[in-house]
Amino acid sequence: SRTLEEHLDALFSRTKQAFQSNPFYLDFAWIEKINDRRAKGIGIEKLASLDLSFSLIVTPTDSSDLLRHVGDIVRSKRLSVAIRLRVENFNEDSDLDAEIDRIMESIGSDSASTDLIIDLQDIGHDLDRATLVARSIFSQVPRKEMWRRFILVASSFPEDLSDIDAASIQKLPRLEWNLWTRLQHKRAALPRLDLIFGDYAISNPTQKELDPRTMRMSANIRYTTPDDWLIVKGRNVRKYGFDQYFDLCRILIERPEYSGRDFSAGDKYISDCAEAQKGPGNATTWRRVGVNHHLTLMVEQLANNQIEP
């Protein structure tokens, strides 16, 4: 019932509140039905008017016409650009060098002012295969030393938690972190020593179409540990309600994996909820809590896992 402009106004109002002056990447591929010239142009102009610091992501699937329009806005608003490449962009039938040239020429930018994002997306459960894919891609990347930033992104978090029993606790390996540390130990094989780590936090890259009227969601806390995700799962919230989170939090804070209430804002909320001072919250609350803890842990892990060249 709302126009495109009204939808974007609401979305970007929340974006401004969330990011404030912090820089971020904007990828319209995750916003349904917005990947056309008019929609993308309106979106960029609206965001730029909010004085937000962001880089716009483009891909080889963007048309030259759309890229030229994006380039006009990027130059007028003094924005920056990132190119996101997926595994399929490196197949034998793709002329990646030509595609990169087309993108850069259409936008009117150069490699020195552009970031490159290699997105492996869901790497599944086979760490050896993911390692081979990453190293194969590294060998094919054009202009390795010329990009402003070079970023590797991957995820192994499951699409959903349906394989985990209700009212149980389970650990799932963080294979994207295992991949990163494995790659770091053979730094001579890296495309650049300043390669940047990225992940999808406590989510899977696949965006599922879900009907909230029929979905059966279980209460759960997705808690990142140095090597795993700890999943503390309850039961169906339609039948058992969100008050389950009080008990789930009490279970979590008693476990050795819990980082303590002072570790992050998310951990403080967990502690307060265990004491019934906050909560129980809803699904959005617990995704926010889990992401906040995850980001805090990742900053600490990356700072403490610097490997000398």
Q: Residue 196 above 70 pLDDT?
A: yes
Mean of the pLDDT values across residues 72-96? Answer: 90
Q: Are 103 and 67 in contact (CB under 8 A)?
A: yes
Instruction: Give the lowest-confidence range in 31-40, 49-58, 68-77, 176-185.
Output: 31-40
Give the amino acid at 69.
H
Quickly list H helices, the chain.
Answer: 4-19, 37-49, 64-77, 96-107, 127-140, 175-184, 237-240, 244-253, 265-274, 283-304
Alpha-carbon distance values, 69 to 36, 38, 107, 115, 132 (Å): 10, 9, 8, 19, 37
Query: What pLDDT is attached to residue 122?
Result: 97
Query: What pLDDT is attached to residue 261?
Result: 97
**Residue 308's pLDDT band (cuts 50, 70, 90):** very low
Query: What pLDDT is attached to residue 45?
Result: 76
From 200, 156, 148, select the one nearest 174 (Cα to Cα).
156
Q: Residue 31 above 70 pLDDT?
A: no
Mean of the pLDDT values across residues 135-156? Answer: 95
Percent of the chain at pLDDT > 90 equals 66
Q: Residue 81 above 90 pLDDT?
A: yes
Phi, psi of 295 (to 5 degrees): -65, -40
Does residue 32 or residue 175 have the better pLDDT? Answer: 175
Does residue 205 or residue 309 have the better pLDDT? Answer: 205
Q: Residue 38 above 80 pLDDT?
A: no
Q: For residues 57 and 190, what is the distance between their CA atoms, to the nearest angstrom?
A: 23
Alpha-carbon distance values, 244 to 167, 216, 239, 250, 294 (Å): 10, 15, 11, 10, 22
Q: For residues 10 and 12, what is the distance between their CA atoms, to the nearest angstrom?
A: 6
Query: What pLDDT is attached to residue 27?
Result: 86
Query: What pLDDT is attached to residue 242?
Result: 96
Q: Measured between alpha carbons, how far apart are the two ends of the chain, in Å?
A: 56
From 192, 267, 280, 163, select the one nearest 225 (Cα to Cα).
267
Mean of the pLDDT values across residues 182-208? Answer: 92
From 169, 277, 182, 145, select the one nearest 219 (Cα to Cα).
169
**Residue 309's pLDDT band (cuts 50, 70, 90):** very low
Q: Residue 93 above 80 pLDDT?
A: yes
- CA atoms within a 13 Å half-sphere pointing along the CA-CB vector of 7: 12
- CA atoms within a 13 Å half-sphere pointing along the CA-CB vector of 144: 13
Centre a 10 Å sphere on the Cβ of residue 136 and count the other Cβ atoms it contains.
11
**Residue 154's pLDDT band (cuts 50, 70, 90):** very high
Q: Are 117 and 84 in contact (CB under 8 A)?
A: yes
Q: Which secondary-structure segment (H or E) carries 141?
A: none
Does residue 76 or residue 277 have the better pLDDT? Answer: 277
**Residue 77's pLDDT band (cuts 50, 70, 90):** confident
Q: Residue 172 above 60 pLDDT?
A: yes
> What contacts 24+ positions apart, CB below 8 Å, involve 208-212?
208/159, 208/160
Q: Look up tokens 């002012």; give the residue.
A: 113
